[in-house]
Amino acid sequence: MVKGLNTKKIKIQEKKPDLRIVKEVKTKPYSDIDLNSWKEYSHIKTDTWWEFPSRDKSHGHSNEYHGNYIPQIAQQLYERFTKRNDVVLDLFLGSGTSAIEAVNMGRRCIGVELKPEQVEIVRNKFTPKELVTSVNLICSDSASEEVKEKIQTRLDIMRRDKAQFLVLHPPYDDIIKFSDRKEDLSNCASTAEFYNLFGKVAKNGYDMLEKGRFAALIIGDKYAKGEIVPLGADCSAIMRDTGFKMKAVIVKNMEGNERAKGKTANLWRYRALNGGFYIFKHEYIYIFQKI
């Protein structure tokens, strides 16, 4: 070493190859959820008690139609049981919750509604482009044989043989009258007739659903003549008789569905104490799969 020369030792670092393993996305045939990153989906409910403090009124949703189900149900079910661009079939479209959330989440929807005036109300909630690319509305009786041909025509336009998810949110028998039409399930002369018509709708839904895919029945019970009529259990049995395999029974609080009762809440409390029954605070979401 030359005296007086300032020298430094230079440490040369060799660049090591990146040995990190990139995991492949792991999904089910009916969902876009990446199971390799399952911890990132904490917002998806996997238990059987669903509680929502209020109805989601954003992104096109509203509560102007009495008896519609809350959008959070569709949000949960679509992410769990559908993939982007899948077709959701709703045979009791009502105010269009299923279709609105399908558009919001990159899915598509075929909705069947009995009342022509209600179909027009729902139609006005979408842009002309959405009514071509994402939403198909059918004014028809969901219990009829003819409705299947109409649904198939829409599926052909959407380039699908069958729907990928089925939503059934029927009237809870005669609790709320939705129209004066005899085909309306809320106008059945008896609960037995209601079950008969619901069975026809369930069969149509089964026939139009892709094998291996899922269906949701959203329904509650009712009181009549001093006793509970278990609409949920009875309609779920009809679904099983149709050929569906039951996967889950979810209990959901009803606070998000109801409009403010005001003083009538006290009246119902009196009736409950007087009649020996309890006030409903829940409804059911039954999950089925077509095997």
Whether 43 is covered by a domain: the verdict is: no
Question: pLDDT for 55-67, tens place per residue?
Answer: 777 655 565 656 6
CA distance 158 to 101: 18
pLDDT at res. 26:
96
pLDDT at res. 56:
73
- pLDDT-flagged residues of the chain (< 50): 1-10, 12, 260
Whether 18 is covered by a domain: the verdict is: no
**Domain holding 76: CATH number?**
3.40.50.150
pLDDT at res. 20:
62
Residue 198: give the domain boundaries: 65-290
DSSP letters of 160-196? -SSEEEEEE----TTSS---S-TT-GGG-SSHHHHHH
* Crossing angle between the packed helical segments 97-104 and 71-81, to the nearest 10 degrees: 50
Whether 12 is covered by a domain: the verdict is: no
Whether 60 is covered by a domain: the verdict is: no
pLDDT at res. 259:
52
Structure tokens at 240: 């099983």
Whether 17 is covered by a domain: the verdict is: no
Whether 8 is covered by a domain: the verdict is: no
Report which residue type is found at 134: S
Whether 120 is covered by a domain: the verdict is: yes
Q: Given CA atoms 261, 264, 267, 271 in this order, what sign does their dihedral have?
A: negative
- The verdict on pTM exceeding 0.85 is yes
pLDDT at res. 2:
41
CA distance 28 to 45: 17
Beta strand spans in the chain (E): 49-50, 87-90, 108-113, 135-139, 163-168, 209-219, 222-224, 227-229, 244-253, 282-290
Structurally, the chain folds into a number of domains equal to 1
Whether 145 is covered by a domain: the verdict is: yes
pLDDT at res. 263:
61
% of the chain with per-residue pLDDT over 70? 85
